[in-house]
Structure 1
């Protein structure tokens, strides 16, 4: 942890209150989802409770950077502490959580980079590239009653094999730098909105495996 801000006050405070959140409901199908390491702003919004008036268009720069898939960490057993942590406080077993996230995190795109309007998708170290422009957002309502917003970008140029659409979900609903995201991509905009069980998830490539585990465990 590090100091983010110092606020000068007169005298000494009589009381202190610490506000946090846990048991966040996931964007996808209503299961608990652990994240940490960066601010999610309003916890109600992060949990999928918000008014349409609070939604604002977001630029691709919110997702700029070099990102790694967490799926390899699931495959090699690095994320086992996550399933144990979730099982200790949740309604499912370690095996059930592992199976759920195996479907959720599954992808063969091990790395994503976003530079300006250029998105590169890496498979086996080889990139497929496309340039993308903002194509609006869609609000989804899930079975659990919570909601999520997908921010959508459509391809304007690039490799033929690059997807026509990419949809970002990071639990935010207005401009802010993403600390991680779930990504959906393909050539059918409407069909992608129906996908709520597979949500390839990306964290900054600068983080090592232990740092990612600690971020997930912190909540």
Structure 2
């Protein structure tokens, strides 16, 4: 389902490419209500060339190859689709208009060769003699009721099973009031957003405690405050702080030595990424599915594809996650790599540490020591 690589927006968390089948909900035709135009003419006339050039800067193909790829995917002789109530009207290149009322007949879970999937929402024409396509299905990367911002449509007059080559044919429609330039900007803007999402160069990270260097600063600040509040015992606080900082500094040195000796200098998280300060401390590069406190749990197709490509490019032996039972994004990334044999390793961000863990001996230093072991394996 390569059409999803560049054409939807990260800002809409409802859009998913990995999910459990029982999460899919029925939807009505009203989700696609409105006047829509095909993006195909804008590929042909060069309007989208700037978007293809932007894709080529970071993608695997040249701008011309992207243009040919989208030209094949977007190809359709339908120029406009108008949806109102249960009625769909199709306008063709020769200005012919045909339409029918449609009834919803359910959804189909499409499993793609990439390991991702989509819910295809299916409708059947009530007037089979109208000339309108009899069997149609919508895909807009969502699995629950929501207004579409664009959609892909496939069709057949024989049956749903007769729909041809859904992985390589994905006619795409945008709102009719968007200009070609706006569609191009949408595609370019998305490509820029993708870069922002994966590289986070100016990202702020709330998880300051996951840096041993930050921990030293925090211990000093806590010790100073305690000495001011309890001056009679300030020497005890100072002595304890110095002893603890010595342990932090020693472990910090072990991290630096591990990174210095490492085969790889990049970590890749198929998960949220709360370790921004830790990797900055030691000059590591990183890629991740989401920022540290993201509420998202489903990675889009292009995120999975982007990260899998980075695993291949850097020949990384591992994909990392944070603590938690669900690691399906990491597993999907691995399924989309060339080798498909990388390990999934877990680093502990301490966001799930409980009082019971502490009672059983878990400490900040013990967690950071375990994280060092994981990091050593990830870096080779």
TM-score of the two chains, using structure 2 as the length reference: 0.47
Q: CA deviation at 1:126?
A: 2.4
Cα distance in 2, alignment partners of residues 137 and 131 from structure 1:
18
Structure 1 residue 193, shift from structure 2 partner? 6.9
Structure 1 136/161 Cα, relative in aligned 2: closer, same or farther at 3 Å? same
- State the number of aligned residues: 188
Out of 40, 60, 65, which is 1:91 matched to? 60
Tell me: CA distance 1:216–1:88, structure 2 relative to 1, closer, same or farther (3 Å).
Answer: same
Aligned equivalents of 2:162, 2:128: Cα separation in 1: 22
Aligned to 1:72: 41
Are 2:48 and 2:181, in contact at CA under 8 Å, matched by a contact in 1? no
Flag the structure with higher strand content: 1
Are 1:189 and 2:160 an aligned pair?
yes
- Residue range with higher mean Cα deviation, 51-60 or 157-166: 157-166
Asked if 1:144 corresponds to 2:111, the answer is no
Question: Segments of 4+ in structure 1 off by > 4 A?
Answer: none
Aligned runs of 1:1-219 on 2, under 5 Å? Answer: 28-29=1-2, 32-36=5-9, 39-42=11-14, 45-46=15-16, 48-123=17-92, 124-157=94-127, 159-187=129-157, 188-192=159-163, 194-219=165-190
User: Greater helix share, 1 or 2?
Assistant: 2
SS at match of 1:110: strand
CA distance in 2, matches of 1:55, 1:193: 24
Is the CA contact 2:3–2:170 (under 8 Å) kept in the aligned structure 1? no
Kindly provide the CA deviation profile for residues 38-94 of structure 1, in whole angstroms up to 9, marking residues without a partner as x. 95224xx52x11111210001000000000001010010000011111111111111
Q: Secondary structure at the match of 2:53?
A: helix
Once the two structures are superposed, residues 104-162 of structure 1 have per-residue CA deviations (whole angstroms, 9 ceiling, x without a partner) of 00011000000111101101322111110001110111111111110000011264311
- Between the aligned partners of 1:41 and 1:193, the Cα distance in structure 2 is 29
Unpaired runs of 5+ residues, structure 1, are 1-27
Structure 1 residue 186 displacement after superposition: 1.2
TM score, norm. by length of structure 1: 0.81
Distance 1:116 1:30, change over 3 A: closer
What is the alpha-carbon root mean square deviation over aligned residues?
Answer: 1.7
What runs of 5+ residues in structure 2 fail to find an aligned partner? 191-380
CA contact (8 A) 1:118 1:131 kept: yes
Secondary structure, counterpart of 2:163 in structure 1: helix
SS of the equivalent of 1:157 reads coil
Contact 2:3 2:73 in 1 (8 A): no
